[in-house]
Amino acid sequence: MSKKSREIEKLLTFNQHKIRLGLGRINKEIKKLGLNTKYNNAKICTVNGTSAKNSIIQIFKNILIKNKKNYAATFSPHLVSITERFEYNKKFIRLNSLKKILAKTANKKNLTPFEKLTISFAFFIKNLKLDWIIGEYGLFGRLDAIRAIFPNPNIHIITPISWDHINWTKTKKFNLKTLKEIVYEKTSFIRSKVYIAKQTHTVLKLIKKNLKENNNEKIFYGKDFKLIKKSSNYFYKDKNNFFKIRSNLIGDHMYENIVVAIKIALDLKISINQIKSGIKKIDIPCRMQFVKKGKLRKGLNKKDILLLDGAHNNQQSSQIIKTINKLKNKNKFCVVSMINTKDPYSFLRPFKKKFKKIYFINMERQRNVIPKTELKRVADQLNIKAEVADDFNEIKKKLFNYRSKCLLITGSLYFVGNLLGKN
């Protein structure tokens, strides 16, 4: 970590409040600082859910770029550098600039690091000429700090919702009561025009119930727009449009994400040609990302496939397997590390009999991790062939004699982000 990065870390943790959901603290500071939360000259898009938040934002952002619109976006979490949290027209904020902005909130008592970053983003966009501002929620939604700076967005996107952040729920169990709580926290507060991505039948019923008091337009995947797949081809369809989708993204779930962004763009009167151009080539780091060069490939054979994906819940790991199954490589291996707020049982279950072996290692510079020995114990209970290792280099040495292998690294955005930073 650089000197500037350490200084930023100190600013974030100075007078740090224990993480607790709520809008009272941040609303109070916004009022004291005189920050404007109306943004009259820009449209606001907020996004929350369990999976695909960042992916849908990246797709929508690409379409805005092709439409020659100025945008700023805030993301959570970051992969390699904290500067990735603030983006303006394809460029991240510089460390020096972020440090100066954070200094305005560092001495504010009882704010969490995320609340400090959220207020800092409001300062960041204060004098920018923008057509769009995009905010990705952190935890749940109803009491998330992003809601404080964007109380009245023009549109809100609900991405696929599933089991996540169980430790923040009341029952902390995988049952219907907990699922109802998760969906309530993520959807009950929404009063703007809202786009709902593909959901399970149960989750969709809960979302519709929570949106009953929302009198604005509600656009649902399946009812108002959808993805059509014919052989290996993908098509967008709604009552007025039907056209083929071409993109470099991999997996059915990514095309389900694409059609959400397409529907929004069409409603904004963006031309189909600009939309097609925007979705053709999209860079989403650590989302089924093929690593074709760099230090991470040292020790691998030329024909070996190296994949990074920051999946960390059952919904995401299930989608990974659908994509992995399509790869012709017979020798498939997986490397996993997870933080202790995630559930390893549900995450690992779809991996059973899908890999020759799964290796568990401890990610660097993260204190709140599930020890690799504990992950191995979970794998043993699930009858998954697994082994612990010291690091990724040791795993590459163990697998060197396997030709044309596929090696997937997953389990945490922090984990794959850290490895990507070394590439």
Question: Residue 34 sits in a domain of what CATH number?
Answer: 3.40.1190.10
Whether 49 and 121 share a structural domain: yes
Whether 256 and 118 share a structural domain: yes
Q: Which string of DSSP letters, residue by residue, matches 341-360?
A: TS-HHHHHGGGTTTSSEEEE
d(CA 408, CA 327): 12
pLDDT at 112 over 80: yes
Predicted local distance difference test score (pLDDT) of residue 14: 45
Q: In what order do the strands lie in the sheet with 386-388?
A: 289-290, 305-308, 405-410, 331-336, 357-360, 386-388
pTM: 0.85
Whether 295 and 267 share a structural domain: no
Give the tens place of pLDDT for each residue, 26-71. Answer: 999 999 888 888 887 899 999 999 989 999 999 999 999 999 999 9
Which of 229, 258, 280 terminates a domain? The answer is 280
Whether 136 and 269 share a structural domain: yes
Whether 328 and 273 share a structural domain: no
Whether 293 and 221 share a structural domain: no
The range of the structural domain enclosing residue 31 comes to 3-280
The domain that holds 297 is classified in CATH as 3.90.190.20
How many domains in the chain?
2
Whole-angstrom CA distances from 185 to 107, 140, 158, 311, 401 are 30, 6, 12, 22, 49
Whether 386 and 336 share a structural domain: yes
Give the tens place of pLDDT for each residue, 296-355. Answer: 999 888 889 999 998 888 888 998 998 888 888 789 999 999 988 888 999 999 999 999
Whether 331 and 386 share a structural domain: yes
| 261 contacts 236 by C-beta, under 8 angstroms | no
Average pLDDT, the chain: 89
Residues 6+ apart with CB under 8 A from 79: 285, 286, 310, 413, 416, 417, 420, 421
Nearest 5°: CA angle at 56, between 260 and 327? 100
Other Cβ atoms less than 10 A from the Cβ of 188: the count is: 17
